[in-house]
């Protein structure tokens, strides 16, 4: 039998801390009320816009999110701060994201029945890295005792699937034996918790996967990667402008325009049809239709977006078993969302079942993998 490239293990790490919609709204509304009172005259004169109040019901209806895990809860709900208070670590200590990554990596290795000695490539792929260099992937590689090489990838919310594509290509080409892909999504430092329309969107988490040749895979749950597909199309509707050039621009690197912000309605309107077309074309490559897919592990950004995309693909409302939702308790975890869905909802599939893993986000970028349970 001809060997193939497979996913042989996955891992998930979530922080111990979480914040409910109610907690988030209480803090935000207290801040907004105080802001409106302090700037009452300027608001009346049209010099400033008042801060609208929010509600837990608004958040859940707009996104499907009920709560989110956060790496550090301290500081986020303090209306005088409204950002996580993460203690500075010395350069000799393990970085925050590396620590997150290692937790998920160890679980993925255990799931795949592999040790660090079996891995020869590490890819850390996520929406944000906490520093430019040395690469987080190399730090993780060193901490785990892995030989070979490692590198970071940044492709916003498609970072995980794009990294899986690179891993697939390396295994298929024979330039690597086993690749460990890790997604330590530390998103909360880039959230503007003073913005009603975006303060609830993101959560922190880390995921990981082991990719190898089927000839060496011996884990309980193995998924063959039948193919990969990616597309990018430039859009200005999702941005995070924070960067080292801010110092040379003489601007506040932490101003609202440099934190995460988006034109949510435009994103919804433009990404949904783009994702439907992308997925349909990918399935057609294998002479498959949407009804041949047993499990949809879709990007977890917005429940309304997921529902619309899967409904257009299936011509009906998907069941939660077919298209599992994890964003209700994890929120949008950038590139990790579809991997969380896979990790929590793959063991029940039978040999021969087809699944589709897909992420979409800023860029715009879309990455997908057609998988077959072995």
Positions marked active-site? 157
Cα dihedral angle (157, 161, 163, 166), rounded to 10 degrees? Answer: -140
- Establish how many alpha carbons lie within 13 A of residue 285's alpha carbon, considering only the half-sphere containing its beta carbon: 15
Cβ burial, residue 175 (10 Å; 0-12/13-18/19+) = exposed
Residue 304: name the closest of 269, 349, 339 by CA.
269
Instruction: Tell me how far apart the alpha carbons of residues 206 and 11 are, in angstroms, rounded to a whole number.
Output: 8
DSSP string, 300-326: -S-HHHHHHHHHHHHTSPPPTTTS---
Instruction: Tell me how far apart the alpha carbons of residues 5 and 169 are, in angstroms, rounded to a whole number.
Output: 9
Q: Please name the residues in contact with 351: beta carbons below 8 A apart, sequence gap of 6 or more.
A: 373, 374
Cβ burial, residue 241 (10 Å; 0-12/13-18/19+) = middle
Is-contact 211 275, C-beta < 8 A? no
What's phi and psi for 10, nearest 5 deg?
Answer: -140, 155
Is-contact 326 320, C-beta < 8 A? no
The total of other beta-carbon atoms located within 10 Å of residue 164's CB is 28
Angle (CA) 66-270-187 rounded to 5° is: 40
150 alpha carbon, distance to own chain's centre: 20
Residue 28: name the closest of 204, 256, 188, 197 by CA.
197
Q: Which residue has the tokens 């785990």?
A: 144
């Amino acid at each position: 039998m001809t060997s193939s490239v497979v996913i042989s293990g996955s891992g998930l790490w979530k922080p111990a801390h979480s914040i409910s919609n109610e907690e988030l709204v209480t803090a935000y509304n207290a801040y907004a009320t105080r802001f409106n009172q302090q700037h009452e005259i300027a608001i009346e004169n049209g010099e400033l816009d008042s801060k609208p109040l929010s509600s837990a019901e608004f958040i859940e209806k707009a996104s499907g999110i009920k709560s989110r895990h956060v790496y550090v809860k301290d500081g986020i709900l303090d209306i005088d701060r409204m950002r996580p208070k993460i203690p500075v670590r010395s350069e000799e200590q393990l970085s925050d994201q590396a620590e997150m990554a290692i937790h998920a990596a160890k679980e993925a290795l255990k799931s795949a029945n592999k040790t660090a000695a079996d891995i020869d490539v590490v890819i850390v792929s996520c929406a944000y890295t906490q520093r430019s260099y040395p690469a987080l992937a190399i730090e993780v590689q060193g901490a785990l005792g892995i030989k070979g090489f490692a590198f970071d990838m940044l492709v916003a919310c498609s970072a995980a699937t794009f990294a899986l594509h690179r891993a697939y290509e390396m295994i298929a080409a024979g330039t690597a034996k086993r690749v460990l892909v890790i997604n330590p999504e530390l998103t909360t430092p880039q959230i503007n918790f003073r913005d009603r329309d975006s303060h609830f969107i993101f959560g922190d988490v880390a995921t990981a996967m082991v990719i190898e040749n089927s000839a060496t895979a011996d884990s309980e749950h193995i998924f063959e990667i039948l193919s990969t597909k990616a597309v990018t199309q430039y859009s200005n509707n999702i941005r995070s402008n924070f960067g080292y050039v801010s110092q040379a621009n003489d601007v506040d690197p932490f101003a609202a325009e440099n934190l995460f912000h988006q034109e949510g309605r435009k994103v919804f309107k433009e990404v949904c049809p783009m994702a439907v077309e992308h997925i349909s074309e990918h399935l057609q490559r294998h002479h498959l239709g949407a009804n041949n897919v047993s499990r949809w592990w879709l990007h977890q950004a917005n429940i309304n977006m997921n529902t619309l995309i899967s409904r257009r693909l299936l011509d009906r409302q998907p069941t939660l078993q077919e298209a599992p939702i994890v964003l209700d308790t994890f929120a949008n975890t950038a590139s990790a969302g579809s991997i969380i869905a896979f990790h929590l909802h793959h063991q029940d599939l039978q040999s021969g079942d087809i699944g589709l893993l897909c992420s979409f986000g800023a860029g715009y970028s879309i990455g997908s993998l057609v998988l077959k349970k072995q």
